[in-house]
Amino acid sequence: MSKKDNRICLGAIVGVHGIRGEVKVKSFTEVAEDIDQYGMVENKEGTRKFEIKVVGHSKDLLRVKIKGLDDRNEALALKGTGFYVSKDVLPALEEEEFYHADLIGLKVQDEDSEVLGEVVGVYNFGAGDMLEIKLSENGKSEMLPFTKEYVPTINIKDGYIIVRSLINFAEEDEEEISFEDEDNEG
Amino acid sequence: MTRSVWKGPFVDGYLLKKAANARNSSKNEVIKIWSRRSTMLPQFVGLTFGVHNGHKFIPVLVTEDMVGHKFGEFAPTRTFYGHAADKKAKRG
């Protein structure tokens, strides 16, 4: 894995604030203000490093001061720049916890080591974490609960997860779901 | 205006039958439903429903905290794109 592949994007500069070189940043971190908790950040190309400090809020964006940047015009030139850090600086996880960045891109295999697809997203809509898997068979994506029952093995080092089965839908019984009256359909 | 208490929670009838069947069968299957408007009842706790969001089924494992909410609340209909950054997922 190259050095650049091992990085995550914490946020991006979307505008400037005032005349003293403050920038407005869209944070992608779980807690927006944590963007300055990972030390020095760099741009996408890795050519510039920034020392950043959150100084306030501007609506749903953060106001960030970059050390050594005191001019609005210089700040404006950085608009669109992403803040990247190495995954190595992320804190250690508790048991059964995984970073989304580590899970996305893993190959999905069944118990016979046959490749079923790839993890393309991790979501939580309020009913627990789930993986979005893009199936190699037909290109469609399917959601899978992120539980030990469905995903018994996760091997981040070798880049795969083993799923016991894709979602096992109960068989539809036409008689069971026949609607008794018009108002009761769903 | 809130729903009158005397009516009780709204649930599509077929869903009760499906849930009862799933409870009786020992297989741990996901129940496909399209009824996003139905309320989660205490007898649904522990069951996993696949709630349709317009183009696919989102797995929703019903827990005690969800009782009283609608199924549709847990299956957004708009595509969500975001950055992974430092976000974590916990395997349940």
A104 touches chain B (CB under 8 A): yes
Q: For the domain that residue A64 is a member of, what is the CATH number?
A: 2.40.30.60
Residues A73 and A112 in one domain: no
DSSP B39-90: BPPGGGTT-EEEEE-SSSEEEEE--GGGTTSBGGGGS-SS------TT-EEE
**Contact residues on chain A for B82, CB-CB shorter than 8 A:** 28
B24 touches chain A (CB under 8 A): no
**Contact residues on chain A for B73, CB-CB shorter than 8 A:** 126
Is the pLDDT at A166 greater than 90, yes or no? no
The reported pTM is 0.83
Q: Are strands B48-52 and B30-33 parallel, antiparallel or unpaired?
A: parallel
Is the pLDDT at A85 greater than 60, yes or no? yes
Q: How far is the C-alpha of A66 from the C-alpha of A25, rounded, in Å?
A: 11
Residue B36: closest C-alpha in chain A: A186
> What is the average per-residue pLDDT within A50-74?
94
- Flag the least confident range among A29-38, A63-72, B23-32: B23-32
pLDDT-above-90 percentage for chain A: 72
**Contact residues on chain A for B13, CB-CB shorter than 8 A:** 179-180, 184
Q: How far is B43 from chain A (nearest CA, A)?
A: 17
Residues A74 and A141 in one domain: no
Residues B12, B36 contacting (CB under 8 angstroms): no
* Residues sharing a CB contact under 8 Å with residue A34, sequence separation 6 or more, in sequence order: A27, B86
Q: Go through A17-26 and write b for each residue having 16 or more CB atoms within 10 A of its CB, e for each that does not.
A: beeebbbbbb
Is the pLDDT at A100 greater than 80, yes or no? yes
Residues 12-71 of A with CB under 8 A from B: 27-30, 34, 38
Number of domains in chain A: 2
Cβ–Cβ contacts within 10 Å for residue A163, how many?
21
Residues A69 and A112 in one domain: no
Q: Which domains does chain B have, with CATH numbers?
A: 21-74 (3.30.860.10)
Residues A108 and A84 in one domain: no
The total number of residues shown for chain A amounts to: 186
pLDDT-above-70 percentage for chain A: 88
pLDDT in tens, A107-156: 999 988 899 999 999 999 999 999 999 999 888 889 999 999 889 999 99
Q: Name the pLDDT band for A172 (thresholds 50, 70, 90).
A: low
**Contact residues on chain B for A176, CB-CB shorter than 8 A:** 14, 17-18, 21
Residue with more model confidence, B27 or A25: A25
ipTM of this predicted structure: 0.87
Last residue of a domain, one of A89, A112, A128: A89
